[in-house]
A and B are shown apart, each in its own frame.
Chain A
Amino acid sequence: MSEPPPERFAPSAPLVQRLGVPISSVLLGSLVTIVPVIAHYPVLPPFGLLMLLGWRLLRPELFPIWAAAPFGLFDDLVSGQPLGSAILLWTISFFAIELFDQRLVWRDFWQDWLIAAGATAFCLIAGRLIASPIGAHVDTMLIVQILVSVMLFPLVARLVAWPDRKRGRA
């Protein structure tokens, strides 16, 4: 796919558009939990986290490292996890990705996928340990949820890349 060359002297897109698109896409991802299905098993992937990771890995300069916390706060409010779990876990994931950015500078999509898989698995497993008692029989479903989320990441990366082209440049 050949992208048209950017117009050098075009006026920059308004800030609302440049930042509003990524922010609202992550919030919409978190809001997937409001679909009217009463689920028996926790298999719905954490779309908010996946979108956030997609943006973070595609455009590292877009969000400051502390942006994970407010997104996590919103996710906590709609996900049913105890408040504070996503704030903490998503920020830790962002720190880890920052570390990878410094060590693993030249990356391909495969490495990004691996990083996203690690972050997703970490957030889901830690979230399960925080939210549910150890004896709860949710581990099989948790593994299914992690697998589904990891497999979905390329799709989410595509979903992120499309609005990224449309939102305009600074």
Chain B
Amino acid sequence: MAPPRTRRPGFSRRAQYGLFFGYVVAALCALIGLVLLIVSTANPPAFAALRAGVAEATAPISGAVASVDRGIAAVPQAIGHYFGVMHENAVLRAELARQHAVLTRARTLSYDNSRLKHLLALRDRSTGTITVARLISSSASSTRRFALLNAGWRQGVREGQPVSGPDGVIGRVLETGPDTARVLLLSDPESVVPVKRTRDGVPGIVNGRGDNLLEVHPVSLADPAFKVGDVLVTSGTGGLYPPGIPVARIVSRSRDGALATSFEQPDTLDYALVEQAFFRAPPPPPAP
């Protein structure tokens, strides 16, 4: 391709200065970018308002496309279900027979549990539901894992509130706008959730890895190792997530912990439930 002539200023002083000025502005812009980057790395919520503003504008588009998309996506799924249903039926029957004994025992335990709780006058903090909304889009081109929720501070959503779906924890609210909120998903590399194992209550920490698997670390190294199939639920430590919400199931063991997959797979998700933080943040200290 022939080189365009406009980039070569020739002998025109004006064109030369114009080109030079462009370089100066570009260098300044790069510098500003660097400063912004340092600020936003040091203080991630610094530009939340800007992002929320753009999200407000794009959310209705995502929402509208999502409703059409769901309708179309449901057709092949329905056909697939029809053929899968015979096999599934047989599997489920066998599963039901196996689960019956466990279920009976669990019912007894649950009854005992509630009785004992009454006996101790144990006051569980009730965690109110704030709102139910859809997750409408996500940061698909970035290595971070954020999703956009279709509700914001007008609906009562605040930073730090836990977000869960019908199957378990989804993540927590990171930034809020008027009608949208940014959610840090469980699989984000910087997401941390304190959990316990349902089998024996051994505490652990669940970290996102960024590739849809979660890393599980036991809190104490003396703990017995995790087994494949162990179920992890939130422990309530840290005061963010209410205890007892399912988080993940262990799929394999690693050198110093285990790998798990989360119960909630947010792409198959219709609704997300935003709840109160388990312990409210303490009120800010009064101004002197």
Partner of B40, one of A32, A47, A84: A84
Does B41 count as interface, using CB distance less than 8 angstroms?
yes
CA distance A8 to B136 in the complex (A): 50
Comparing B100-108, B137-145, B233-241, the segment that makes contact with chain A is B137-145
Cβ–Cβ contact B61 & A34, under 8 A: yes
Cβ–Cβ contact B267 & A64, under 8 A: no
Cβ–Cβ contact B65 & A81, under 8 A: no
Does A166 count as interface, using CB distance less than 8 angstroms?
no
CA distance A65 to B266 in the complex (A): 40
- Those of A98-120 within 8 Å (CB) of chain B: 101, 105-109
Partner of A107, one of B1, B141, B187: B1
CA distance A77 to B36 in the complex (A): 12
CB neighbours (8 Å) of A40 from chain B are 145, 187, 211-212, 265, 267
- Those of A43-69 within 8 Å (CB) of chain B: 43-47, 59-61, 64-66, 68-69
Cβ–Cβ contact A105 & B3, under 8 A: yes
Known interface pairs A42-B142, A132-B143. Does A36 touch B63 (Cβ–Cβ under 8 Å)? yes
Partner of A38, one of B3, B189, B267: B267
Cβ–Cβ contact A88 & B30, under 8 A: yes
CB neighbours (8 Å) of B46 from chain A are 83
Q: How many residues of A contact B (CB 8 A)?
A: 64
Cβ–Cβ contact B32 & A87, under 8 A: yes
CB neighbours (8 Å) of B136 from chain A are 34, 36
**Smallest beta-carbon distance B280→chain A, Å:** 28
Cβ–Cβ contact B144 & A131, under 8 A: yes
CA distance A141 to B189 in the complex (A): 14
Q: How many residues of B contact A (CB 8 A)?
A: 67
CB neighbours (8 Å) of B140 from chain A are 33, 35, 37, 39, 42-44
Known interface pairs A88-B34, A132-B210. Does A127 touch B142 (Cβ–Cβ under 8 Å)? yes
**Smallest beta-carbon distance B2→chain A, Å:** 7
- Those of B17-76 within 8 Å (CB) of chain A: 22-23, 25-26, 28-30, 32-41, 44, 46-47, 50-51, 53-55, 58, 61-63, 65-66, 69
> Chain A residue with minimal CB distance to B34?
A88
Does B232 count as interface, using CB distance less than 8 angstroms?
no
Partner of B2, one of A37, A43, A45, A106: A106
> Chain B residue with minimal CB distance to A82?
B40
Known interface pairs A42-B142, A140-B211. Does A65 touch B26 (Cβ–Cβ under 8 Å)? yes
Cβ–Cβ contact B41 & A130, under 8 A: yes
Cβ–Cβ contact A135 & B189, under 8 A: yes
CA distance A110 to B50 in the complex (A): 39
Partner of A85, one of B37, B44, B53, B69: B37
Does B255 count as interface, using CB distance less than 8 angstroms?
no
Partner of B210, one of A33, A83, A106, A137: A137
CA distance A87 to B210 in the complex (A): 24
**Smallest beta-carbon distance B7→chain A, Å:** 6
Cβ–Cβ contact B58 & A31, under 8 A: yes
Partner of B26, one of A37, A39, A69: A69
Known interface pairs A35-B65, A40-B267, A131-B144. Does A65 touch B23 (Cβ–Cβ under 8 Å)? yes
List the 3 shortest-distance A-B pairs measured between CB atoms, nearest first: A80-B139, A87-B33, A84-B36
